Chains A and B, each alone.
Chain A
Amino acid sequence: MKQYVSTTNACKLCRPIGACLAFRGVEGAVPFLHGSQGCATYMRRYIISHFGEPIDIASSALGEKHAVFGGGPNLKQGIINVIKKYEPSLIGVATTCLTETIGDDVSMMLDEFKREFLADADSPILINTSTPSYAGTHMEGFRGATRSIVEKLAQHRLTSAEEKRVNLLPGFLSPQDIRYLKELSRDFELPLTILPDLSETLDAPILLEYPKIPAGGTPIDAIRDMGSACASIEFGRTVSDELSAALYLRERFGVQDFRIGTPIGIRESDRFFSLLEKISGKKTPSFHREERDRLIDAMVDGHKYVFGKKVVVYGEEDLVVGITSFLAEIGARPVLCATGGKSGRFKSAIKSVVDGILRDLPEIREDVDFWEIEELTRQLEPDLIMGHSKGYKISRALGIPLIRIGFPIHDRIGGQRILHIGYRGAQMLFDRVANAIIAKKQRDSDIGYGYF
């Protein structure tokens, strides 16, 4: 591999966008970026192209003089304007490279602001999170904001629901994934507080009025109760201790924490379902057991098409770990697992999910860009690529089918409706993988054929 210093076509996003997405998953919240106007506008544009939904991200719109004298006045004026126009219950302030570097102390500014302007009890809650875009990726921003929300709001309040309420910290999943989790909550009769919850705020129905703030998101009261839940489940094998909200809740309130892999594929889903059984004291409802049975049946029907097929997977770490686990289970051969992230936990996470199934470990690369992914893909000659839209160029150049998963998907409709998790998600992934391989075979065939 050639030595390189520049990043060519990044396989990651910057930290503040992750924070904006996490804040967007809280009821009544407005994300606010403390920096120059461009950041907020670019991120809005980027998010819109995946979700097809409006997202209002406020900005302190700093200019040159603020970069010199500090952004405090603009931050305060910006918050006042957001309160006036949006009447939010929460404003989530994330920093940018500009305000991190000029050294704005946002916590202090917000405290000052509260003393000055927000004496009322029903004033909006202000939460800030530090998201220097030169440290970490959007996932650190996402997890960091989630943890900031929990640190700020969670309390230990004795409630009647104490025994049963469970915190679920899913990480950055699709709205469809979150809706599926809600379904499980109903089916296991296990009240879940899912934080953040993008299922409605970034996949809303068509409306009569433009809402100032889209409906949905985790209710603030439910977040307050997270300190009195009986357990927390956090998805993601690469989440660091500092960013883990589940760990915080254990250390601060003694809430038992289960930090498991994102339930993609059979074994990771089994772990999740058995955890739900354990916590709820209920057997997995028959409907979900049947989904699992049908999935195995489908895998038997299709196993020969996918067996040994080489797959390149890229994207954010926890998603890649989950997809790799799934691919190993169906008999495919993940040959490259790549991410722009750099948590330091990626390799060990991949190793543990393929343990006992894969004979040869895939190439595992962190902190990579698409230039390196392309070079490796050329060498590895995979049958399939799995990842978000940004791999399209490689897929087209090499004539290898791309199965779109994760974020961002902005060259197809419906990124927000992709189900990645659970038995049902695995079923959908399996069908897409098998059919992509069959379609390629049909296309490459000299004669074409109508039956398998």
Chain B
Amino acid sequence: MNGVVLKERTGQVYEKGAGPFKLQCNLDSLPGAVSQRACVFCGSRVVLYPITDALHLIHGPIGCAVYTWDIRGALSSDRELHRFSFSTDLREKDVIFGGEKKLEAALLELIERYNPEAAFVYSTCIVGIIGDDIGAVCKRVSKKTGIKCIPVQSEGFKGNKRAGYEAACRALINLIGDGDIEGISPFSVNILGDFNLAGEIWIIKDYYRRMGIEVVSTITGDGRVKDISRAHGAKLNVVQCSGATLALAKMMKEKYGIPYIRVSYFGVDDMADALYRVADFFKDRQIMENTKALINDELNKLYPALKEFRRELAGKRAAIYVGGAFKAFSLIKAFRLLGMKVVLVGSQTGTKEDYEELEAITDPGTIIVDDSNPLELSEFLKEKKVDIFVGGVKERPIAYKLGIGFCDHNHERKEALEGFIGMYNFAKEVYSTVMSPVWRFVPRKEG
């Protein structure tokens, strides 16, 4: 396995059982290593994108806007401003003379055209270099229009995706605190770090409704500026995902004293655990009873169906490579529930704690990898005789080219994978790729 890993990267690959656990992470990507990672801008865009009634204006040359145009499956129950791709489309003369005037004109024009509830202005690599003061422009336009314009300091080269999450959180905190919080229930939460891919937040909101809990705001999936402005009125922040909005939860704790818990809505155990922990927090008998009833009800529906899938899938081998490590924890448990074995797990941006947790919950022999690349991943898939690979768009052709099944667990997906129904959808998707007859015809199986 070491043959394929660049010397500088050997500390970022570990096979469980081969010596004491030590994994390097949080490093800059190695030049020339073909990392699967994106950039700071990407991190910010991911987090803020699902706010559907805000304008998202990208200040830079066209590429950054083009490659992030409506690629995510974040659904809206109302306006769909987020699905546009606005850019100042900087040209040569803007780079030479500065782009502030163009930015201001663009903001004014778009605000007039779409009347958004707020506007986010994203800075890109080049803006960081030419030094346009997007903060000053935002301030001027806010004053002129009465629309809150918020700069997002997301220059691509200023760190990795994780730094982008933080830039987004620093932008988001500006939205919170203005709204009227009168009449918010004592049993109330904000949902943080869920992006409403394939409508997942609607599933989760329905669970909270059945528990008797009010959801004040969803940050950021199916997000509304007005709801987010009232977020400080909620009693608890429920944060999911590998830290995308954790920084915001911490800021809100400091500023408004709102406690937070970290959860995952993927898989049966984690989903149930999330709901129980929220119920626990409120120490209310009725809520706890509602929660128990809800979970029993859902599991009674789910288990018979899962048993069918498990019959065929048991013993198959799975590999996981995802953006954030938190998602990987739930995936490992979900595969176990299907009787499958995880033999490779990795992420683009895991932290030390994340990887320690992964080491603790995986079986001996499992490869754990940070910030991997196509050559490594393809080698690991082969070496571990994987039946199914879970990842995003960039991982998909690696699996398919080798004749291996694949499950999309990314921001583009059109199937809801959260909640109890999500576990069913996940099992079905795994089943539909692993059991496809197509693998009879690929060279891997013919040989």
Contact = CB atoms under 8 A, between A and B. Distances in A.
Interface in B110-125: 110, 124-125
A239 interface: no
B87 A7 contact: yes
Contacts of A77: 30-32
A7 B69 CA distance: 12
B156 A58 contact: no
B30 A135 contact: no
Interface in A27-49: 32, 35-46, 48-49
Contacts of A98: 125-126, 129, 156-157
Contacts of B160: 37
A347 interface: no
A75 B71 CA distance: 30
B337 interface: no
B286 interface: no
B109 A14 contact: no
B24 interface: no
A45 B402 contact: no
Interface stretch (A59-67, A308-316, A419-427): A59-67
Given A64-B159, A133-B63, A54 B42 contact: no
B7 to A, nearest CB: 8
Interface stretch (A205-213, A221-229, A274-282): A205-213
B86 A6 contact: yes
Given A67-B128, A206-B442, A5 B109 contact: yes
B110 A6 contact: yes
Contacts of A43: 63, 67
A141 to B, nearest CB: 10
Interface string A303-346: 00000000000000000000000000000000000000000000
A96 B398 CA distance: 26
Given A36-B156, A45-B67, A66-B157, A207 B443 contact: yes
Contact of B378 (A32, A53, A134, A210): A210
B22 interface: no
B129 A10 contact: no
Given A14-B66, A42-B68, A49-B393, A134 B403 contact: no
A430 to B, nearest CB: 31
Given A41-B35, A210-B375, A134 B109 contact: no
B60 interface: yes
A85 to B, nearest CB: 6
B139 interface: no
Contacts of B41: 38
Interface residues of B, number: 77
| Contact-size category for A | 35 or more
B339 interface: no
A396 to B, nearest CB: 12
B366 interface: no
A49 B69 CA distance: 13
B314 interface: no
B157 A208 contact: no
Interface stretch (B91-99, B201-209, B417-425): B91-99
A4 interface: yes
Interface in A100-119: 101-102
Interface in A67-125: 67, 74-75, 77-82, 84-86, 96-98, 101-102
B157 A62 contact: yes
A59 B39 CA distance: 12
Contact of A36 (B4, B88, B125, B396): B125
B130 to A, nearest CB: 7
Contacts of B126: 97-98, 101, 134
Contacts of A9: 69, 84-85
A32 B32 CA distance: 8
Given A67-B128, A206-B443, A58 B157 contact: no
B79 interface: no
A154 B129 CA distance: 37
B123 to A, nearest CB: 12
Given A48-B396, A98-B157, A206 B129 contact: no
Contacts of A132: 61, 92, 95
Nearest to B87: A7
Contact of A97 (B125, B382, B398): B125
A78 B62 contact: no
A328 to B, nearest CB: 30
A208 B90 CA distance: 44
Interface in A232-291: none
B63 A210 contact: no
B57 interface: yes
B106 interface: yes
Contacts of B159: 63-64
A97 B61 contact: yes
Nearest to B42: A38
Contacts of A101: 95, 126, 129-130
7 tightest CB-CB pairs across the interface, nearest first?
Answer: A38-B39, A14-B63, A78-B31, A81-B32, A78-B32, A210-B378, A6-B106
Interface of A: 4-10, 12-14, 16-17, 32, 35-46, 48-49, 52-54, 56-64, 66-67, 74-75, 77-82, 84-86, 96-98, 101-102, 132-135, 137, 204, 206-210, 212, 390, 393
Given A9-B85, A14-B66, A134-B95, 6 more contacts: A36-B125, A45-B394, A57-B34, A63-B158, A64-B159, A67-B129
10 contacts: A5-B102, A5-B105, A6-B89, A7-B86, A38-B156, A78-B31, A97-B124, A98-B125, A98-B126, A101-B126
